[in-house]
Structure 1
Amino acid sequence: MSAGSSRPSEDQFLCSICLDVFTNPVTTSCGHNFCKNCINQHWDVNPRRCPMCETSFNAKPQLQVNTLLSEMVAQFRREAQQEASSSSSEQQAAKPGEVPCDVCTGTKLKALKSCLVCLTSYCQTHLEPHLTASRLKRHQLMEPVENLEEMLCAKHDKPLELFCRTDQTCVCSLCSVLDHKTHEFVPLREEYEGKKAELGKTEAGIQQMIQKRRLKIEELKESVKISKDAADRETAEGVQVFTSLVKSVQRGLDQLVEEIQAKQKATEKQGEAFITNLEQEISELIKRSSEMKQLSSPVAHLHFLQSFSSLKAAPASKDWTEVQVCPPSFEGMAVKAVAQLEEKLWNEMKKLFESNRIQKYAVDVTLDPDTAHPHIILSDDGKQAKHQSVKRKLPDNPERFSECPSVLGKQSFSSGRFYFEVQVQGKTDWTLGVVKDSINRKGKITLSPRFGFWTLCLTNKTEYKANAGPPVSLRLQSLPEKVGVFVDYKQGLVSFYNAETLIYSFTGCHFTDKLRPYFSPHPNNSGINSAPLIISPVHLCLMNRLSAD
């Protein structure tokens, strides 16, 4: 009610039990007024005692309706409704789904609050007494809700203002005394706040789950994109490879046809030479035969005898009985050519695919100076490491190797595949590979997978070993000038290559830690082993190999 109103104050018409405007006001014999329902409920608990003055009655008094007060209350309600109606144009009518004011008549305005004590929802105008009247201020207000009657105790018709933690249910004040005497209670608002906080945590957890799933969606989308990119690359490589294969097969066919035609031409040339010689001899023999026929005709005896001596000797001729043209054998040439081509293609494709498979996972590795042993010198670009006799003065941080002349790569890897190459040309001793990021770097170290090392080494210029614990001696057909290191983290694989040829593989490894490239140029041995280890750029140059043959 506004301060300037001429109608009586609402405080004059409030029941001292429910603290609301009287409903069916009655008067006790001691002169106090109450709602009829309120005093009857009170006497159910405290019989024959006035809640205001504590006057006791020998028998339950007969309550009489206070007619004057009833009329005054009715007048007050009418004036309040008229005032509410006059201000309704300034407030919003309740829309479908919104809680309407329970007091408004005619157009129901949107409720701003619901009272848990009055079990009534109020618009702005009808809420005013709860904001100004001292006794109503103690009422518990909440966001407007419908069906406030559900907040009454079905047994005692009292507001459900307590929460029984023992039975996990809402109870009224009488329930706490009669039915739940030994139970644990808290005010409804306290339990509400606690449950609301718990719900907030649950909601936060759900939001976190939603965020994780959204991130998972993005991860899956990225995986699909990576797969598509990989498919496009493989398709392009496949087209290039098969184009090279077709060209190589065509070259093999051309070479086969050329060899067959060369053999045939040689045979034809030989036959033509024999035929020419035979035709020359035939021509000579025909000429002689003609001469002999002329001599056989009647001629003078003197002329015959003179000519006969020159014709008597047989002309010089070759015995052609054993002479023949032997056709070359073409049988099996095609099969042999195909077999040779197949072997060549197989060897080349093995090298091609193996090399391309690993080289496309090439990574850019640089050396980490914070891990370098004091005897190890690094180049400015972080790509070379060599041993020097003079020990440098460096801070002994936890990352640095203290006894073994080694250095790690800056980059670490905990998933996927990666590949790098190291030039070892000119060195007599070295060790390369990958290690756990958490390896011990102080004192003596044992190069073994058991201690987090997967390495290959050269000692005494020709002795190659895989440090598998115990070491495995290796016999190489050719000494590598460059060593490639390939790691498949998920498959637990570490492989070492000499160009395209596999040197050794650690298989069945179980990686849980980050992996880092490992390099040890070994002592320089008075200059004999002074060449540096050099991290080389990886060139994908094998794709044109078949085309270049």
Structure 2
Amino acid sequence: MPPRSLLPPLTPPVMRYCRAERVFLCETCAAQDHRGHELVLLEQERALQEAEQPKVLSAVEDRIDELGASIAQSRRTVALIKNAAVAERERVSQLFAEAAAALHSFQKEVLGFIEEGEATMLGRSQGDLRRQEEQRSRLSRARHDLSQVPEADSVSFLQELLALRLALEEGSGPGPSPPKELSFTKSSQAVRAVRDVLASACAVQWEQLRGQGSDEDGLQKLGSEAEAESQDPDSTNLLDSDVPRDYFLKFAYIVDLDSDTADKFLQLYGTKGVKRVLCPINYPESATRFTHCEQVLGEGALDRGTYYWEVEIIEGWVSVGVMAEGFSPQEPYDRGRLGRNAHSCCLQWNGRNFSVWFHGLEVALPHDFSPTVGVCLEYADRALAFYAVRDGKMSLLRRLKASRPRRSGALASPTDPFQSRLDSHFAELFTHRLKPAFFLESVDAHLQIGPLKKSCITVLKRR
């Protein structure tokens, strides 16, 4: 074997480049597996790619710069999300703490109200009980002393009999009557209303959060849709038909009559009953007292939300409605009565039929008498509805509300003067805070914030 240095030099194999599949090939592979492909020499392909190299490198530099900017933006977005989440958690935690503090404060106030009411009423009742027990003891002692007087002792007999008579006279007259109402027992109703409102609000807000978490304007859109729905008469069809009374009780509002507004010819029975009388009552002077109309208002003023209360018509002609806070109680009779001005509206029972009044116009209603009338004030919807309450069912008597313009722009009832008056002025009534209002027109008129049982009505009629 010749030495290695004497062997002919090895010739490197010729390499080809397949542009179709972008692979390097020897002559044998190129001839067998890549027939029909565009094959070029390796040096030829390198020369071509070297010419393209500056362009590729420039594109790479541009892309690196773009990715750098995009990465910086993504990092800022990540930091923003984290910081926003931390801040939002802090805000939510603070708001929950404030809500819990408000509920705790309300709980303390309500419990204190119950304790104060219990202490006041217990002190009065226990004092009456103690005086009655002491009187019974004195009468028993005096009777016993009289029985022990000897038959022949006339002086002692007269003395003991006189003592017995005096003891008897000290306790003459009717005993203390039980309280008409335990004021603190309405506390649970108030707390239940707060609980129901809170639960409903939580459910609504949670649905909004779940449905609109990725939409920046989601809450605003929902708010606009809800407002539009509240202005749509079709959205209140439930309130326009016969529905169970329990549906309205979740909006129940406790109405207490304000004695400082009662006309001098109105006799109040606690804070729930009122009757018109012939002889004036010597009420103290009050700037809010009606002077020309036999009317009385409820305490407090209403704005926002939905409120429902019931009234029992016991006797006579009665009007039930609402009046704007601040309406002058010194207005003359023709302008001061419920429904005879732009600041009030009412349902009237005149002994023959129901009717509704607003701004001096009246519309008779084709409904039979119902002793129990439900009043539903829908402040957000700017509407006031009156219902006949029978056997746990609500029958709509009339719902007062301005018509919503139709798509053509025309009003719903252009030929109805009463509806036209509502369309023109009724919404303005809701720019004020409103108060429950009652007008007793006939001399025997008598109503009670209800509902009442028949036995209660019988007792009130005997007063």
Larger Rg: 1
TM-score norm. by structure 1 comes to 0.34
Which structure shows the higher helix fraction? Answer: 2
- Pick 1 or 2: higher relative contact order, CA cutoff 8 A, min separation 6: 2
